[in-house]
Structure 1
């Protein structure tokens, strides 16, 4: 393992890109105001964040659906539920819940290929007996939502990522219910500084 860089009065914190939707940015800025410490923020997909932790390029990371649990200590931070995101005039838009099998003939607009959200959606469709026809992928959720609203296709997104102010789309819970969790992670074998302990306590007591 690479030699960790010692930060006396600073932290490097990684996060999934949806840093605002889950209130992560607010928690970090509040911690800065309370302590006066310097914090650098890195946003990357969950898999990249795990690699950054392993190579000591960040002190903590907010990760969705942690894979490498053997090496990380995890503090539960948030949970979220998958929604089917449809144009307002879609023929399924008035349903209270949507079965994944009802979406078999749709064009799918998803997060980047190979990402954990993408793989989750594809595997969910496969478990319902079909391979989704993915016609567009993008890291920028607003681009996906705009294209859904314009009628290019539908998406599967976590509830907190769907903009509430849009009147051109609807977001409907899917069946079977799919939930994901976000955790604050750090290396399990790390000798924690007082500052790191303070940040852990801050997140635990938020």
Structure 2
């Protein structure tokens, strides 16, 4: 069994089509077909069911795919570890992030880090809260910034970098736009703009409203923070968003108001796997994040 065979197999499984897999791999279709045939012959099982030009995994093929994806991640990590141990300051950091940290938190941290380690490269992967947790667990990435930080996961280690308030974002035409602050109960009759179901920031808002005895009327949904802000800017509802997302980026025709009751907050931090070591360059950035935000908090205090 060769690594090339495994990588060909994984790509065919993803594409469910030999020709498309060959195009992605930049090799001839015949080469991919031959390697898959040799792999199946060596294993003594059919990994795919052929349906014309399309293929789909057999039951044993699905098991094999799961194991081989993990194996390839390990092999790739080892190759990168060997390269980075010769010079950790020139490696690549693979990090995931949700949209709520994309506009300020992550760019600020990377910019400060690159002033010290200018040759380090970053590969950024945006995803939802649960997608990023799963990506770290599976080994697709080794690190992700998240808010709130999961602290009781069997396979993840969470480190809180800071806590922040959620603020109310209102259209400038809203009756409460001129107030200094507001009680969340004052928005019980408003239409809300929130993330879709199963997004953690949606859950934070709904839980806060339920504390006061009402469930928000969700009229519009957006899958990233900019979509949420855009819908509020268009006057289509109100929302609760992390304060950090409004730093230097308050949308036109909107106002930001602090919430005095209840106190709606979230933690922001970084998650890493418990069962795998970070790569050397990733360790540099992980330690930097903890020290950077500690210093920032001390400065703000």
After TM superposition, the score normalised by the length of structure 1 is 0.87
Alignment match of 1:198 (pick from 279, 284, 300)? 284
- What is residue 203 of structure 2 aligned with on the other side? 119
- What is residue 269 of structure 2 aligned with on the other side? 183
Change (3 A) 1:167 1:199: closer
Higher-Rg structure is: 2
Match of 1:205, SS?
Answer: helix
Q: Which has the higher contact order (CA 8 A, sep 6+)?
A: 1
CA contact (8 A) 1:32 1:39 kept: no
Alignment match of 1:47 (pick from 126, 130, 139)? 130
RMSD across aligned positions (CA): 2.3
CA contact (8 A) 2:142 2:272 kept: yes
Point out where structure 2 has 5 or more consecutive residues left out of the alignment.
1-66, 82-90, 293-301
- What is residue 168 of structure 1 aligned with on the other side? 253
- CA deviation map 1:12-59 (0-9, x unaligned): 111112344333124235545615233211011111111001000001
Match of 2:140, SS?
Answer: coil
Point out where structure 1 has 5 or more consecutive residues left out of the alignment.
none
CA contact (8 A) 2:100 2:224 kept: no
- What is residue 18 of structure 1 aligned with on the other side? 100
Alignment size in residue pairs: 206
Whichever structure has more strand as a proportion of its residues is 1
Change (3 A) 1:172 1:73: same
| Greater mean deviation of Cα atoms: 172-181 or 86-95 | 86-95
| Greater mean deviation of Cα atoms: 53-62 or 182-191 | 182-191
- What is residue 219 of structure 2 aligned with on the other side? 135
Change (3 A) 1:150 1:35: closer
- CA deviation map 1:102-157 (0-9, x unaligned): 11111011122220001111122122111211010112333332332332211111
CA contact (8 A) 1:20 1:26 kept: no
CA offset at residue 180 of structure 1?
0.6
Change (3 A) 1:102 1:189: same
Match of 2:100, SS?
Answer: coil
CA offset at residue 77 of structure 1?
2.5
Change (3 A) 1:189 1:35: farther
Q: Distance in 2 between matches of 1:196 and 1:111?
A: 31
Match of 1:18, SS?
Answer: helix
Alignment match of 2:178 (pick from 91, 94, 118)? 94
